[in-house]
Amino acid sequence: MCDAERRLLSNALLDMSNEWFILLSESCIPVYNFSVVYQYIMKSKYSYMGAFDDPGPFGRGRYNHNMAPEVNISKWRKGSQWFEVNRKLAINIVEDVTFYPKFEQFCRPACYVDEHYFPTMLTIQSPNLLANRSITWVDWSRGGPHPATFGRSDITEEFFKRIHEGHECRYNDQPSSTCFLFTRKFAPSAMEPLLRIAPKVLGF
Ligand SMILES: *[C@@H]1O[C@H](CO)[C@@H](O)[C@H](O)[C@H]1NC(C)=O
Ligand SMILES: *[C@@H]1O[C@H](CO)[C@@H](O)[C@H](O)[C@H]1NC(C)=O
C-alpha cells in the first residue's frame, strides 16, 4: 500500500507546478468547493498528516525494538492514510531509504505499515510541519473494524451540517470549526442524491 502511495507521489512530483499532494479514494468526496479547499491548504503552515502517539496495544504495542536506532519508540506514531502533504514532505517520503526498509522488515501483522510509516517517518524528519490531524472525516461512531459507509438515505442537509459544523480543531495554531475538507466513505447509491444536494450545501 505505501509502496503504491510512494509511486503516486513520485509521479505527481514530476509536475513542477504541483505544490500540495492529497491522497483520496474513490469513495471520498470534497465537502467544500475548490477555492475553499485550495485557500485552506495554501494558507496552512502545516501539512495534514494524522499522527498520534497511542500508548496501547494497537499503537506502541506494534513497535518492534529491531527498528531502533532509526525509529525510536518515542517517535512511533499512528494515523489514517488519507493525508495532504506539501512538496517538501512528499520529497522526504519518496527519497526515504532509511526508514522504509525497517518498516518492511519489522512492521508485520499485527503491525500495519500503512497506519504507521508516514506518520512516524515524518514525525522524525519534519515534526514542525505536521498538523498531526487528517482533513478527511471518517465516521467511526457506528462501531466495528470499518468506518461507516454512507448510502442514499444518509444524504441530507443535516448530515452536511454535522460535517461542516460539528467539530473543533486548530488551524494555523488558532481554534477553528472548519476541520474537514473531505469525507468518506460513500456508496455508489449516494451519488444521485449527492449531485442533487451539492449546489445547495457544498457550493459546487
Ligand atoms: C529514544 O529516545 C529517548 C528520549 O528521547 C532517548 O533517551 C533514548 O536514548 C532513545 N533511544 C534510542 C534507541 O535512540
Ligand atoms: C505535531 O506533533 C509534533 C511531535 O510529534 C510536534 O512537534 C508538532 O508541533 C505538532 N504539530 C502541531 C501543529 O502542534
Interatomic CA distance for residues 188 and 195, integer angstroms: 12
Residue spans of the domains in the chain: they are 2-201
Q: pLDDT above 70 covers what percent of the chain?
A: 100
Identify the residue with better confidence: 1 or 162.
162
Ligand of minimum distance to the alpha carbon of 171: 2
Q: Which atom of ligand 2 is nearest to the CA of 77?
A: 5
Ligand of minimum distance to the alpha carbon of 67: 1
DSSP string for 39-79: HHHHT-SSBB---B---STTTGGG--GGGTTTS-GGG--B-
d(CA 162, ligand 1 centre) in Å: 42
176 touches ligand 1 (CB under 6 Å): no
**Average predicted confidence (pLDDT) for the chain:** 96
Q: What are residue 48's DSSP bridge partners? A: 84
- Per-residue pLDDT for 185 more than 90? yes
d(CA 131, ligand 2 centre) in Å: 6
Pull the grid cell for residue 113: 505499515
From 66, 72, 75, 106, the mutation candidate for ligand 1 (largest count of ligand atoms within 8 A of CB) is 72
70 touches ligand 1 (CB under 6 Å): no
Contact 7, 179 (CB under 8 A): no
Residue-wise pLDDT tens digits, 18-52: 999 999 999 999 999 999 999 999 999 999 999 99
Please tell me the residue having the least CA distance from ligand 2 atom 9: 128
**pTM of the complete model:** 0.93
Q: State the residue for C-alpha cell 474513490.
A: 26
